[in-house]
Structure 1
Amino acid sequence: MKTPVSRRVRDLVYETFASEGRAPSVAELARRTQSTVDAIQKVLNDLAEAHALVLTPDGDAVRMAHPFTSAPMAFVVTPLDGHDDRRWWGGCAWDSFGISAALHLDVRIDTACPQCGAPISFQTGPQLPPPAGLAVRFPRPAEEWWADVVGTCTMIRAFCDRAHAEQWTTDNVPGTGYIAEATAVWRLAGPWYGDRLDPEFQPHSREHNQGLLDECGLTGPFWQLP
C-alpha cells in the first residue's frame, strides 16, 4: 500500500468482500477509483507482490484477501443474526474464524471432517470460542505458507477431534503437518485479523505476528515465519 490509490483499491476489495461476500472486478475497481483497467491491474499486481491479497492464476481477478476468498472452499460462514443474509466462503478453518474477527460478528461455520465426512457446524464469535475438542490441521510449516498460499489454505481443515486428524494424516501424508486445538486457532484469529477492516489498518510486522503465534502456544520450528 505504497500510494493512496493502492490503499483505496485494497480497501475497496475488503469492503466489497465484507458487505457482499465477493471480490470486485478489475473494471469495477477502475470505475470506483476513476482510473483505468490497466492502472488497476498494476496496483493489484503490486498488492499481490506485497502479500496484501492473492490473485487468480491468470492474474486478472482477486482470489483471496485474507480472511476472505472469492471462490468456494471447504467452509461456509453465515451471520447468526437472522436479518443478515450475507454469506462468505472461508478459505480455511483459521480464515473462517478470521472472518468473524474482522467483521466483529457472531457467525455459524459449516464444514465437514475430512476423515469421516461428518458435518461440522458450530457457532462462534469474537467472544464465543468454538466447541472444545475440535482440531485444526495445518499442512506445512509457516515459512512455506506463501509458496502456495491457496493450496495451504485449502488444507487447513477442521476435524471432529484430534484422533480423526491424526488418522487422516497417517492415511494420507504421514509425518507431516501440525494439529492444533481449534480454540488456539480461534484465539490467534482475533488479533491476527480483527483489525483487517479498520480504516487505519497497517500490515503487521513479522515480529508482531510471531508474537501472536507465541501467545497462542504455537511455538517451535514449525511456526517460525519467514
Structure 2
Amino acid sequence: MNDANLHEAIISSFLQHQRPPKVLELAKRFNCKEEEARIALRTLADNHGVVLHPNSDEIWIAHPFSAAPTTCVVTSGDRKWWGNCAWCSLGVVHLAGGSAIIETRLGAIDDQVTIEIENGELLDTDYVVHFPIPMKQAWDNVIYTCSVQLLFRDEDQVDEWCSIRGIQKGDVRPIKQVWDFAAEWYARHADADWTKWTVHQAIEIFARHHLTGPIWKLSEEATRF
C-alpha cells in the first residue's frame, strides 16, 4: 500500500458509494493489519492527500469530496456528494463524468442557487468564486479555507459579504475560469498512479489558468502544497 493506490481506493469509494472507506475496509482491501492501514492514512494525511478526523484515523476529507455535510451538494444521476467548497464542487462534477448539478447558497447564507453542468459544459456562468485565503496558507487550517471559498452573484456581493462577516476580501474569479481550472487540477485524482501536485506543478497550473496575484503566490521553497 502506498499513497497512490490508497488515494485511488478512497476516491473510487466516494465515486461508487458516495462515502469514504472505513479503516477496517481499507485493511481488508489491502489485506493488511488495521494498524498498517492507519499508518498509511496518517502518511497520506501528512502529504496533504487526505484529512482525517481529529482523534481518529477515519477519513473526513479527500479533496474534492467531504464525508461530512457542507454548504455544497453535487448531484449526478442518483449519486450525491458534499463538495468542500465551490472549487471542490466543480472538481466533483469533473470526476463524476461532467454532468451534474451543484446546489448551494450564495456566500453560504443568501439565495439558494443551482449550477448546471451538462456533458462537460458549464451552463450557468453568471457567478463568481471568492478565494479569501492565500494559497500558501491554505493548509494551515484547510477545513476553514474550504469553508470560505464560496459562490457569489458578483463582486459587489463579495464586498458586502466581507464587510458584514469581517472576512478580508481575497481574489474573485468568474466561475467559468474556476471550472476550467478545476478540470486540470482534479483530472488525475481518480487515477491509480495519482501523486500530489508538487509546489512547482501547482505554480505552473495556477499560471496556465491566469490565477495571479497575492492569493495565488506560492514559495518555490515550500516542501508541499
Distance (Å, rounded) in 2 between the aligned partners of 1:107 and 1:97: 9
Letter in 2 for 1:35: C
**C-alpha separation in 1, matches of 2:4 and 2:22:** 16
Q: Distance in 1 between matches of 2:141 and 2:115?
A: 29
Mapped to 1, the partners of 2:153 and 2:80 lie a distance apart of 23
**Distance (whole Å) between structure 1 residues aligned to residue 30 and residue 99 of structure 2:** 32
- Contact between 1:97 and 1:125, CA under 8 Å: does it hold in 2? no
Give a deviation string over 1:113-138, Cα, whole Å, max 9, x none: 12762111021257312523201111
SS at match of 1:114: helix
- Normalised to the residue count of structure 1, the TM-score between the two structures is 0.90
Structure-2 residue corresponding to 1:70: 67
**Aligned to 1:198, what secondary structure does the other structure show?**
coil
Query: CA 1:147–1:116 in structure 2 vs 1: closer, same or farther (change >3 Å)?
Result: closer
Distance 1:225 1:85, change over 3 A: same
Q: Which position in structure 1 is the counterpart of 2:14?
A: 17
Size of the alignment, in residue pairs? 219
Instruction: Give CA-to-partner distance per residue, 1:71-114, whole Å, 9 cap, x none.
Output: 110100011xxxx3111101100000001122332110000112
The 5-angstrom pairing of residues 84-99 of structure 1 reads 84-99=77-92
Contact 1:100/1:126 (<8 A) preserved:
no
Q: Which is further off, 15-24 or 205-214?
A: 205-214
Instruction: Tell me the residue number matched to 1:215.
Output: 208
Whether 2:167 is the aligned partner of 1:170: answer no
Instruction: Look up the equivalent residue of 1:146 and give its one-letter code.
Output: W
Unaligned runs of 5+ in 1: none
Give the whole-Å Cα distance in 2 for the aligned partners of 1:174 and 1:115.
Answer: 13
1:147 aligns with 2:144: no
Q: Give the SS at the match of 1:203.
A: coil
Kindly, what percent of the aligned residue pairs are identical? 28
Distance 1:78 1:26 in 2: 26
| RMSD, aligned CA | 1.8
Aligned equivalents of 2:116 and 2:153: distance in 1? 15
Give the Cα separation in 2 of the matches to 1:115 and 1:100: 19
Which portions of structure 1, spanning 4 or more consecutive aligned residues, are displaced by more than 4 angstroms? none
**Contact 2:98–2:121, Cα closer than 8 Å, also in 1:** no
In structure 2, relative to structure 1, the CA distance for the partners of 1:179 and 1:6 (3 Å cut) is: closer
1:56 pairs with 2:49: no
Does residue 136 (structure 1) correspond to residue 129 (structure 2)? The answer is: yes
1:17-71 CA-partner distances (Å, limit 9, x unpaired): 1111101111111111111111111100000001111111223211111111101
Amino acid at match of 1:176: K
Are residues 1:40 and 2:37 paired?
A: yes
Q: 1:104 is aligned with what amino acid? A: G
Relative contact order (alpha carbons < 8 A, sep ≥ 6): 1 or 2 greater? Answer: 2
Shift of 1:157: 0.8
Residues 1:29 and 2:22 are matched in the alignment: no
SS in 2 for 1:87: strand
